[in-house]
């Protein structure tokens, strides 16, 4: 966490220096007040000098005023620095993630990245904010208080030799006992959450198997365990506060007793006793404050590590220094994609996901990719938009290696429909225009027609302007897929990549969509990954993947003759006559 703090607090060193100085003033004034009070008693009250009392009183007022001004300015600058720090970390974090490849993102997982960028940063930011006010203040008060106490009466300060260790040891003991309980409490909370989450997600199964009572017992156990730990923690707190305040109170009594002896022997003026007690209270309060604030640190430090970890990632895929553009061959068909001896393995993986992949996909043709789960279908097509880089071999578009192109240029040639149809919050239209902001309404409708989405969009109350909720949760899975397809079509790219994008559609819609695509897209290169054989039976070229290698390449009829893996897949889905 230290590195994160140094890097991102550096721009605010001026504010922080001022805050440091202001906190110092605050601490000094705070410590000064009891001294003035002692003066009032020693030189004013004891001597009956009312004029002096008024004078010192006015002085105290000024000190108080100075203190409040310093505190407010300090709070202002501290809040500003801490929150700006949080903003900068978030910004750096977001930019970093945007520059990462999908593989690098998957290493952390999107949900984890979301937590890191918001909750974790918030944690650190909070500690910085507290640190700039209280955490600086507490040690200053501690040191200053000790110094002032010694100045009041050194022998009396011997009482501190007993009081301070007592306070620190009891605080330490309590925290030492509490920490494992806190951890155990978190485990119990997670457990309770898990049981409830399962009850909610499995409600149908639980009721279908008539196991409500069993679930109630499971919950009961988790609930009782949580309550038990909670009770232990709360009871520890019940001991903690009386103990700490008890120590403070008994310190006062001890000081009074010993102070009386010192005063009686005329070694200390009486006003100093009052001041001394005030200082000891401040010392003890600052120890309590510091130890409690310190309990924030482990959590924030863990959060800091998680954030730094992401910021430190070096993106594996970067744009070339001198990007090459695809040569514009006037009049000729464009979008020839060629895989040459492509091999791909995930970093650190023992086995390659893809080996020895060779094929050429041409404009106006559909290249279908089939194979069982884990055979590398999705990986293969994600290599085209360079979501991953090949580990050896090459992929070229119209003769240009994708790694030699600027990625934004590369992407402008590709219409991509991912496996999980993902829509952004906004409207139907804003989603469709994601690839081409200038597309007209007519163009949108045309894409919707092809994607078999026009009918349901027309039926929506607001049509194209119908709001889409985040993640597209307000439309069904099949509608989401069709909208994602329409979005790619609006882009009118030379290369279209459909990653198992028809899975949620029923047979009828599936086939109508395919027919429409065939009519509409005549000169683009199509890649289609599919589970359903019927969806790709008519493709010009079918690639059968088995454990990362091409087990067969050809048309449906050819493969039915030659490829055993293909036959296996086909027969698992169709009866013999359907496959013929």
Partner 1 sequence: MMPGPGRRGPRGGHHTPGPPGLIGTGDKPRHFKESFKRLVRSLRPERVLIVVVIALTIVSVACQIAAPKIMAGATDDIFAGVMSRQINGYAGDSWTKEQVVAQLEATGETDMAKMLAEMELRPGQGVNFASVNRVLLIVVAVYLLSALLAWLQGFLMAGIVQRTAYKLRRDVDDKIALLPLKYFDSHARGDILSRLTNDIDNIQQTMQQVLMQIIQSILTLIGVLAMMFWISPLLALISLIVLPVSAVIAIVIAKRSQKQFARQWDRTGDVNGHVEEMFTGHNIVKTFGRQQEAIDTFDQHNDGLYEASFKAQFISGIIMPATFFVSNLNYVAVCVLGGLRVANGTMSLGDVQAFIQYVHQFGQPISQVASVANVMQSAVASAERVFELLDEEEESADPLPPVVLEQAAGHIVMRDVSFRYVADTPLIENLNVEVLPGQTVAIVGPTGAGKTTLVNLLMRFYEIDEGSITIDGVDTRDMSRDGLRRLFGMVLQDAWLFSGSIQDNIAYGKEDATWDEIQAAAEAAHVHHFARTLPDGYETVVEDDSTNISQGERQLLTIARAFLADPQILILDEATSSVDTRTEVLIQRAMARLLKGRTSFIIAHRLSTIREADVILVMNEGDIVEQGTHHELLCRKGFYYDLYNSQFAEALEEAC
DSSP track, 372-428:
-TTSSHHHHHHTTTTSS--SEEEEEETTEEGGGS-HHHHHHTEEEE-SS----SEEH
146 binds partner 1 (CB under 8 A): no
Q: How far is the CB of 331 from partner 1 (least distance, A)?
A: 26
424 binds partner 1 (CB under 8 A): yes
User: Which residue, 261 or 341, is less far from partner 1 as judged by CB?
Assistant: 261
94 binds partner 1 (CB under 8 A): yes
Contacts of 310 (CB under 8 A, 6+ apart): 93, 96, 97, 108, 113, 116
Pairing of strands 541-546, 366-370: parallel
Stretch that binds partner 1, among 7-15, 16-24, 162-170, 379-387 (CB under 8 A): 379-387
49 binds partner 1 (CB under 8 A): yes
User: Which residue, 65 or 341, is less far from partner 1 as judged by CB?
Assistant: 65
Measured N-to-C along each axis, helices 441-450 and 507-520 cross at an angle, to the nearest 10 degrees, of 130
Q: How far is the CB of 183 from partner 1 (least distance, A)?
A: 8
User: Which residue, 239 or 325, is less far from partner 1 as judged by CB?
Assistant: 239
292 binds partner 1 (CB under 8 A): yes
355 binds partner 1 (CB under 8 A): no
Contacts to partner 1 from residues 151-190, by CB under 8 A: 178, 182-183, 185-186, 189-190
145 binds partner 1 (CB under 8 A): no
- Rounded CA-CA distance 10/425 in Å is 37
**Tokens standing for 566?**
């293909």
Stretch that binds partner 1, among 320-328, 346-354, 392-400, 407-415 (CB under 8 A): 407-415
267 binds partner 1 (CB under 8 A): no
- Exposure of 494 in the CB half-sphere (CA atoms within 13 A): 20
DSSP track, 502-541:
TTTS-HHHHHHHHHHHHHH-SSSEEEEE-S-HHHHTT-SE
80 binds partner 1 (CB under 8 A): yes
- Rounded CA-CA distance 526/366 in Å is 5
227 binds partner 1 (CB under 8 A): yes
87 binds partner 1 (CB under 8 A): yes
332 binds partner 1 (CB under 8 A): no
User: Which residue, 203 or 349, is less far from partner 1 as judged by CB?
Assistant: 203
- Rounded CA-CA distance 401/393 in Å is 10
Contact 96, 311 (CB under 8 A): yes
- Rounded CA-CA distance 27/20 in Å is 11
391 binds partner 1 (CB under 8 A): no
User: Which residue, 7 or 331, is less far from partner 1 as judged by CB?
Assistant: 7
User: Which residue, 44 or 144, is less far from partner 1 as judged by CB?
Assistant: 44
Which of residues 158, 162, 168, 253 is near partner 1 by CB under 8 A?
A: 253
Which of residues 17, 21, 114, 325 is near partner 1 by CB under 8 A?
A: 114
Stretch that binds partner 1, among 349-357, 380-388, 447-455, 553-561 (CB under 8 A): 380-388
Contact 61, 98 (CB under 8 A): no
CA dihedral 347, 348, 350, 356 (to 10 degrees): 20
Pairing of strands 414-417, 495-499: parallel
Stretch that binds partner 1, among 350-358, 397-405, 443-451, 529-537 (CB under 8 A): 529-537
Q: How far is the CB of 109 from partner 1 (least distance, A)?
A: 9
318 binds partner 1 (CB under 8 A): no
Kindly list the strands in the beta sheet with 354-361, ordered across the sheet, starting from the edge strand earlier in the chain: 354-361, 337-344, 392-397, 400-401
207 binds partner 1 (CB under 8 A): yes
311 binds partner 1 (CB under 8 A): no
Measured N-to-C along each axis, helices 50-99 and 13-39 cross at an angle, to the nearest 10 degrees, of 160
Which of residues 330, 408, 459, 519 is near partner 1 by CB under 8 A?
A: 408
What per-residue string of b and e applies to 101-119 under the rule 16 or more CB within 10 Å gives b?
Answer: bebbbebbeeeebeebbee
215 binds partner 1 (CB under 8 A): yes
User: Which residue, 64 or 392, is less far from partner 1 as judged by CB?
Assistant: 64
Binders of partner 1: how many residues, by CB under 8 A? Answer: 169
User: Which residue, 356 or 531, is less far from partner 1 as judged by CB?
Assistant: 531
Phi first, then psi: what are they for 191, rounded to 5°?
Answer: -65, -45
CA dihedral 445, 447, 449, 450 (to 10 degrees): 170
Q: Is the dihedral of CA 473, 474, 479, 483 positive or negative?
A: negative
Contact 251, 258 (CB under 8 A): no
Of 447, 413, 423, whose CA–CA distance to 517 is shortest?
447
Which of residues 5, 491, 526, 536 is near partner 1 by CB under 8 A?
A: 491
User: Which residue, 372 or 549, is less far from partner 1 as judged by CB?
Assistant: 372
User: Which residue, 508 or 519, is less far from partner 1 as judged by CB?
Assistant: 508
452 binds partner 1 (CB under 8 A): no
323 binds partner 1 (CB under 8 A): no
> Which residues partner with 340 through β-bridges?
394
Contact 353, 376 (CB under 8 A): yes
Which of residues 314, 373, 438, 522 is near partner 1 by CB under 8 A?
A: 373
Contacts to partner 1 from residues 560-579, by CB under 8 A: 568-569, 572-575, 577-578
User: Which residue, 358 or 469, is less far from partner 1 as judged by CB?
Assistant: 469
20 binds partner 1 (CB under 8 A): no
385 binds partner 1 (CB under 8 A): yes
407 binds partner 1 (CB under 8 A): yes
């Amino acid at each position: 966490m230290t590195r994160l703090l140094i890097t991102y607090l550096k721009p605010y060193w001026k504010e922080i220096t001022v805050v440091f100085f202001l906190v110092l003033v605050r601490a000094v004034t705070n410590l000064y007040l009891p001294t003035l009070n002692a003066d009032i008693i020693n030189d004013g009250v004891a001597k009956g000098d009312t004029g002096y009392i008024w004078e010192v009183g006015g002085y105290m007022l000024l000190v108080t005023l100075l203190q409040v001004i310093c505190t407010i300015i300090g709070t202002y600058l501290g809040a500003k620095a801490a929150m700006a720090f949080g903003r900068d970390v978030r910004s750096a974090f977001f930019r970093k993630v945007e520059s990462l490849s999908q593989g690098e993102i998957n290493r952390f997982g999107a949900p984890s990245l979301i937590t890191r960028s918001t909750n974790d940063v918030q944690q650190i930011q909070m500690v910085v904010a507290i640190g700039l006010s209280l955490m600086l203040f507490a040690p200053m008060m501690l040191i200053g208080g000790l110094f002032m106490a010694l100045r009041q009466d050194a022998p009396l300060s011997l009482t501190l030799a007993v009081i301070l260790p007592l306070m620190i040891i009891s605080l330490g003991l309590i925290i030492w006992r509490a920490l494992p309980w806190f951890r155990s409490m978190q485990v119990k909370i997670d457990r309770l959450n898990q049981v409830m989450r399962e009850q909610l997600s499995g409600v149908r199964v639980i009721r279908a198997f008539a196991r409500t009572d069993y679930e109630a017992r499971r919950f009961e156990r988790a609930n009782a365990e949580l309550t038990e730990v909670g009770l232990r923690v709360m009871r520890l707190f019940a001991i903690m506060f009386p103990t700490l305040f008890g120590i403070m109170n008994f310190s006062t009594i001890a000081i009074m007793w010993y102070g009386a002896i010192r005063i009686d022997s005329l070694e200390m003026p009486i006003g100093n006793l009052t001041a001394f007690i005030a200082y000891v209270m401040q010392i003890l309060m600052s120890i309590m404050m510091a130890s409690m604030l310190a309990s924030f640190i482990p959590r924030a430090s863990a959060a800091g590590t998680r954030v730094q970890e992401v910021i430190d990632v070096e993106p594996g895929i970067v744009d070339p220094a001198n990007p090459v553009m695809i040569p514009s061959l006037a009049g000729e068909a464009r979008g020839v994609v060629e895989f040459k001896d492509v091999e791909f393995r995930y970093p650190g993986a023992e086995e390659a996901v893809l080996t020895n992949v060779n094929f050429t996909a041409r404009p106006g043709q559909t290249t279908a990719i089939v194979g069982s789960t884990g055979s590398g279908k999705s990986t293969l097509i994600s290599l085209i938009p360079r979501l991953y880089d090949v580990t050896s071999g090459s992929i070229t578009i119209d003769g240009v290696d994708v790694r030699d192109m600027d990625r934004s240029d590369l992407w402008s040639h590709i219409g991509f429909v991912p496996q999980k149809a993902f829509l952004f919050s906004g409207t139907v239209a804003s989603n469709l225009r994601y690839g081409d902001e200038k597309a007209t309404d007519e163009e949108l409708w045309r894409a919707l027609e092809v994607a078999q989405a026009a009918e349901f969009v027309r039926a929506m109350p607001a049509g194209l302007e119908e709001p889409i909720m985040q993640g597209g949760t307000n439309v069904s899975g099949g509608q989401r897929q069709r909208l994602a397809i329409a979005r790619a079509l609006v882009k009118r790219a030379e290369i279209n990549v459909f990653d198992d994008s028809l899975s949620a559609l029923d047979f009828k819609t599936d086939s109508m969509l395919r027919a429409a695509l065939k009519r509409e897209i005549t000169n683009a290169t199509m890649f289609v990954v599919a589970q359903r054989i019927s969806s790709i039976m008519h493709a010009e070229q079918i690639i059968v993947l088995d454990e990362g290698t091409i087990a067969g390449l050809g048309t449906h009829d050819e493969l039915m003759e030659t490829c055993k893996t293909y036959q296996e897949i086909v027969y698992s889905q169709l009866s013999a006559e359907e496959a013929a």
